[in-house]
Structure 1
Amino acid sequence: MRPDGLTIGLIEDDPVMGGSLVQRLELEGCAVRWWQTGQEALFASSGKLADLDLVLCDIRLPDMDGEEIYRNLLGERSTPPVIFITGYGEIGQAVRLMRLGAADYVTKPFGFDDFLSRIRDNARNRTPAPDGDTVLGVSPAMRKIAALLRQFARSDLPVLITGETGAGKEIAARYLHNLRNGEDARFMAVNCAAIPPDLLESEIFGHEKGAFTGATKRHLGYAERAGSGTLFLDEIGDMPLPLQAKILRLIEDRCFHRVGGEEIVPFNARIVTATHRKLTDGSGNAGFRSDLYFRIAVLPVDIPPLSERPEDIIRLMAIFLAEAVERHDKIVRGVSSLTEETALGYDWPGNVRELRNRVERGVALAAGEWLMPADLFPDRPGSIGPGIGFAPLSEIRDDAERRQIVRALAETSGHIQEAARLLGISRTTLWEKMTRLGIKTERSEN
């Protein structure tokens, strides 16, 4: 699980930091090209980015900042993944860079084992696999979904995304859209449950002037504005039956009429739908047209609830924390270990949306520099986790160690030696803890 054989570009002006990184990475089997200014890096890498598996870039450099460097790199062919190295005051900029497409960021000071893990996960010369993408999550379930969506991106067939409310269906839809489309392609999202039924048809297909009372001018609907991008029909299970027939016709004919119009409007977008409902019960009595169901569910994907993928909780908390810190312009350095334990012990009935909202509120109201359990769960004072109360410290410590060991084994595909290195302990100590805690792995090592 070491990042052996990678060719890494390092842009770092600090000679001590840069020299240390070069030395450590070379010990891990990497070839490193080190540049100490942005201009030097851009000049040296011009036309040669295809040779790099990853770029590590400090955001703050003497001649330009990381964002300017990244925008220049994007103009090159075969731009490799970029991980930014930031200080706490630059987290907001790092988040913006990730929205532009950067692979990840690490905050100084950082643990080198975690740093190596992020390099390994994001470097592009790894064979594409279900566990090679962390955009949707780091859990095995979400990595499999990411791999499935990468396959779906090769065609224009309709995709149906199912899952509980707040599980991340729209995030998956946007991920699918970005896999296939360029920056100019539009992602038009329509929440079929939020728009009154008598207005939904006009919002999707548009209308001509005078089509109904109040239609004072022509209105282009979501289907037309989507262009050659994606039309995302969220909560399609709440769509009225008469409109379902028109969506079926849209899929089959690839054209439509605006409400009150006679002109045929071509439809070039891909249709992606989502719902938290069961659309058909097999008898045709579920309130949803079975013929439409089979047309939109050509490529189905189901998003599991957050409670079934605890490996994603800590990662998502870190992402949401960085975003909230930027929005509220507050100094919150991170999430305390006790808060992480509390979050891992919570059921998350509202899924990812609830996690985002709790972190947002926690940052807005936090009195200190670390997000504490009371910040994340003000509605559960004095509680460490559901049903735990004031459990013995030894029990809490064992639960925490068990979760971390299981996560490390999952990350290393059961390699005991690699898992021990991630955890900062010896192989013998890890075996002793696994035996005491009843943790088994199917992989054996000699």
Structure 2
Amino acid sequence: MLPDSLSIAIVEDDPVMGESLNQGLELEGCRVSWWRTGAEALAGLRAAAAPDVVICDIRLPDMSGEDVFRRLAADAASPPFLFMTAYGEIDQAVALIRAGGGDYVTKPFVFNDLLARARALAGRRPPANGGILGVSPAMRRVEAMIARVAARSSPVLLTGETGAGKEVCARLLHGLGSDATQPFIAVNCAAIPHALLESEMFGHEKGAFTGALARHAGYAERARRGTLFLDEVAELPLALQAKLLRLLDERRFARVGGETAVPFEARIVCATHRDLSEEVAAGRFRQDLYYRINVVAIEVPPLRDRPADIVLLLNQFFAEIAPHSNTALHGFSSLTEEAALAYPWPGNVRELRNRVERAATLALGEWLMPSDLFPEAARASDDEAPRGLAAARDAAERREIERALRDSGGHVGEAAKRLGIARTTLWERMRRLSIRSR
């Protein structure tokens, strides 16, 4: 979800339009500031904390909305702008979007469309205080937990679906620690043949086995006083699990074929997409090792449970990938962002990045469209009825309302508070979508 209380500034001199927007946004749970001239807007935006979004009319009595935008654009903390324009001013609005303005709506517009675009723009803006992993409450909690344990050397167990970002969390944990300058050694336990795992993990002496022509330092030794990250730790064979347990207990190890004990000074961080308690019950994972690595457990939520991060990640990956593409890309269209918010992302963040890279590589236009991000949808059979943007938005809205009702035990008032909207608004949307409160 987006932040519970969206902060929106309105710059509109028409008293009827301004009052209508002000009341409508407040009923949706937004915190609203309303300025009637460009000068008022500039003074207000510079004096107070920047809002999440500025909804600005292009025509103002003392200056244009373009003037307001350009005077603030040099500030790194400048909020995104959503311009309101008449039909004859569309060319100017498009030029402002290309200059980084954000988005625009053409008068007359549907209020829900304006609100959806404002929320999408707010999702692009990184938070002022932290938010390295994301802007969603779930990832804020993960980041807060990582910050709490970073200074300690206790083992950490990261759980979550494949592609959710467990290694990113492990690297953040390492970077926030006191030994951030030391190595971060990542090991995919599922990618190394079992016959080589011990030698790769602990190293070997010269002549330890056929082909061992020199001493080899393993992952545990190369980590020094940094972090040894064991991804997919559930894939370790039982024999090596016993040696990992000894490494944690004794903080030393011996290379294969060697007798001299080598001290182990690194922190161990493990990750898995499996339920280790079930693996223990099935006899595939040692119970004593499970207790030893599960000192601090952090669950990384799947991307579908933190939609507020989707648009942010889209734009982060786009900024990283677009400069290396062969076309002059400007970003994602609002239709693409809506489609991304409605998609369940079974492959999580890894899938999102791959889709952005493919879209940026193969796109034909200047703006990435839904068919660029989801080409399989464009290849659907002709006799299949298209879902349409309205259906996609209803599905996304239904999902969020049902989740809020479930988390609040069926209490509509609490669910409305979680969603950041008024109780009456939630009742109306529940009736429209035929959602019942349990």
Q: Quick one: which of 231, 242, 245 aligns to 1:245?
A: 242
The number of residues matched between the two structures is 332
2:291 aligns to what? 294
Structure 2 residue identity aligned to 1:27: A
**TM norm structure 2:** 0.65
SS across alignment from 2:138 = helix
Query: How many angstroms apart in 1 are the aligned matches of 2:229 and 2:189?
Result: 10
Question: What SS does the aligned partner of 1:281 have?
Answer: helix
Map 1:8-19 onto structure 2 (within 5 A): none
Match of 1:122 among 117, 123, 128: 128
The farther-off stretch of 276-285 and 344-353 is: 276-285
Q: Distance in 2 between matches of 1:379 and 1:283?
A: 40
User: Take 1:180 and 1:227, find their aligned partners in 2: how far apart are those partners?
Assistant: 14
Q: Give the C-alpha shift of residue 266 in structure 1.
A: 1.0
Among 353, 361, 364, the alignment partner of 2:361 is: 364
Which residue of 340, 345, 350 maps to 2:342? 345
Partner residue in 1 for 2:100: 108
CA distance in 2, matches of 1:199, 1:171: 26
- Which moves more between the two structures, 114-123 or 373-382? 114-123
Q: Confirm or deny that 1:217 pairs with 2:214.
A: yes
1:246 and 1:405 mapped to 2: Cα distance?
48
Tell me, what secondary structure is at the counterpart of 2:229?
A: strand
Change (3 A) 1:393 1:307: closer
Residue of structure 2 in register with 1:166 after alignment:
163
Deviation track 1:68-126 (CA, whole Å, cap 9, x = no partner) reads xxxxxxxxxxxxxx86999xxxxxxxxxxxxxxxxxxxx83358x89999989324xxx
Give the structure with higher Rg (CA). Answer: 2
Give how far 1:370 is off.
1.1
Amino acid at match of 2:216: H
Provide the residue aligned with 1:437 in structure 2. Answer: 429
> Secondary structure in 2 aligned to 1:201?
helix
Contact conserved, 2:401 with 2:415, CA < 8 A, in 1? no
Q: Relative to structure 1, is the Cα distance of residues 166 and 431 closer, same or farther in structure 2, using a 3 angstrom cutoff? A: same
- In structure 2, what is the equivalent of residue 276 of structure 1? 273
Amino acid across the alignment from 2:46: E
Alpha-carbon distance between aligned partners in 2 of 1:376 and 1:393, rounded to the nearest angstrom: 15
What is the CA-CA distance between 1:299 and the residue it aligns to? 0.5
1:281 Cα deviation (Å)?
Answer: 2.9
Say if 2:151 is the partner of 1:154: yes
CA distance in 1, matches of 2:137, 2:170: 19
Contact 2:179 2:225 in 1 (8 A): no
Are residues 1:321 and 2:299 paired? no
Q: Secondary structure at the match of 1:208?
A: coil
From the superposition, tell whether residues 146 and 242 of structure 1 become closer, same or farther in structure 2 (CA, over 3 Å): same
User: CA–CA distance in 2 between the matches of 1:332 and 1:369?
Assistant: 5
Q: Name the aligned partner's letter for residue 352 of structure 1.
A: V
- Which among 205, 209, 223 is matched to residue 208 of structure 1? 205
What CA deviation, in whole Å up to 9, does each residue of 1:275-323 have, x standing for no partner? 1112233864331111111100111111122222222211111111111
Q: Is the 8 A contact 2:314 2:356 kept in 1?
A: yes
Q: Deviations over 1:383-442 (max 9, x none)?
A: 69xxx9534665556667889999xxxxxx9999xx79xxxxxxxxx8986564249xxx
Cα separation, 1, equivalents of 2:364 and 2:279: 54
Of 136, 140, 145, the residue aligned with 2:137 is 140
SS in 2 for 1:188: strand
Q: For residue 390 of structure 1, what is the aligned residue in structure 2?
A: 386
Q: Which residue identity does 1:334 align to in structure 2? A: G
What residue is the counterpart of 1:28 in the other structure? 48
Q: Percent identity?
A: 49
User: Please, what is the CA RMSD of the aligned residues?
Assistant: 4.0
The 3 A distance-change label for structure 1 pair 27 and 321 is same
Is 1:189–2:195 an aligned residue pair? no
Q: Where does structure 2 lack aligned partners over 5 or more consecutive residues?
A: 8-38, 51-71, 81-98, 104-117, 403-413, 432-438
CA shift at 1:191, angstroms? 0.3
Give the Å deviation of 1:57: 10
- C-alpha contact 1:398 1:437 (8 A) present in aligned 2: no
Of the candidates 216, 227, 250, which is equivalent to residue 224 of structure 2? Answer: 227
Where structure 1 has 5 or more consecutive residues not aligned to the other structure, the ranges are 4-18, 31-55, 60-81, 87-106, 124-132, 407-412, 421-429, 440-446
Alpha-carbon contact 1:235-1:275 (below 8 Å) kept: yes
Looking at structure 2, the residues matched to 237 and 366 of structure 1 have their Cα atoms a distance apart, in angstroms, of 40
Find the aligned partners of 2:309 and 2:132 in 1 and give their Cα distance: 11
Contact 2:331–2:366 (CA<8 Å) still a contact in 1? yes
| Distance 1:405-1:367 versus aligned 2 partners, 3 A rule | farther
